Amino acid sequence: MYRALIAAIGGLAFAIAPSAEAAARCYTVPERAAVQVRMLQTELMVATLSCRGWNEFDYPSRYNEFIGKHSARLVANGRALQSHFQRSFGDDDVARNHLDRFVTQLANSASHRSIVQTDYFCAAAKEFLNDVAVVEPARLESYSGQRFADRDDVELTACAPPAKPRPVKAAVKVPAAEAGKAGEKAGTKIAAKGAAKPPANPPARAAAKSQP
């Protein structure tokens, strides 16, 4: 158990990395929820290592219970997070590298706070573990969203809603019979307009002069 956790966050620097990875692309609602669930999981994972024996609370056992109870939701949100980076960066290798850097950023932040604010960090993690023990799996996203809505070390820019398509007016169909009548009327009017009218008072012809 401990080896797996250490391998997951091994070699982490204590300096907090910039949040450029999260701010690089916008997040849909499911992707934002996936990030917040990953924040919760990271806090608890780091606490299992950093808070062992703190206040006589069994962090490893409670963390195992958390993973067992919410495993399906953790897997689903992990896929949503992968989908975000795949959508944002396209290429599989590039997306994977950005995802790894982002997850490392979250772990760096949690590890840093566990050192400089040990009591506060471990107390918060204990509260999280007590909460998730009674939170139903279907509510894990909403719980994580409430807990991590104010985190300022990660920018979760919301994607703009898609533009609504403008309604297209349907062309009015004219029955063939009516269209034919309309054409005949138009042709009659044009023909009548083009005909020359005879003069009202035609000039009288001059009488032919008789020859002597």
Q: Which of 3-12, 55-64, 106-115, 144-153 is predicted least confidently? A: 3-12
CB 125 within 8 A of CB 47: yes
Give the per-residue pLDDT at 99: 93
Phi-psi region of 69 (alpha: psi -120 to 50; beta: other; left: phi over 0): alpha
pLDDT at res. 55:
86
| C-alpha to C-alpha distance for 71 and 120, rounded to whole angstroms | 27
How does residue 182 score in pLDDT terms, banded at 50, 70 and 90? low
Predicted TM-score (pTM) of this structure: 0.66
Higher confidence at residue 176 or residue 5?
176
Q: What mean pLDDT comes out for the span 43-62? A: 93
Q: Sorting pLDDT into bands at 50, 70 and 90, what band is 178?
A: low
| Structural tokens at position 131 | 């909460």
What pLDDT score was predicted for residue 171? Answer: 62
Contact 29, 162 (CB under 8 A): no
Is the Cβ–Cβ distance between 26 and 162 less than 8 Å? no
Q: CA-to-CA distance for 138 and 23, rounded, in angstroms?
A: 28
Contacts (Cβ under 8 Å, ≥6 apart) of 85:
95, 96, 98, 99, 102
Residue-wise pLDDT for 10-46, tens only, equals 443 333 343 444 444 799 999 999 999 999 999 999 9
Count of H-run helices and E-run strands, the chain = 8, 0
Cα separation of 144 and 87, whole Å? 23
Residue type (1 letter), 159:
C
- Condensed to tens digits (0 to 9), the pLDDT of residues 141-157 reads 999 999 998 887 788 88
Listed range (56-65, 104-113, 184-193) with the worst mean pLDDT: 184-193
> pLDDT higher for 203 or 136?
136
Q: Tell me the DSSP string of 122-162.
A: HHHHHHHHHHHTTS-GGGHHHHHHHHSTT--SS--PBPPPP
* pLDDT at position 80 over 70: yes
What sign does the CA torsion over 64, 4, 144, 77 have? negative
> What is the overall mean pLDDT for the chain?
78
70-84, 86-100, 118-132, 170-184, range with the lowest pLDDT: 170-184
Pair 49, 125: CB distance under 8 Å? no
- Cα–Cα distances (Å) from 111 to 46, 61, 98, 123, in that order, read 6, 20, 20, 14
What percent of the chain is predicted at pLDDT more than 90? 52
- pLDDT above 90 for 187: no
For 64-91, b where at least 16 C-beta lie within 10 A, e where not — what string? eebeebbeebbebbbebbeebbbebbee
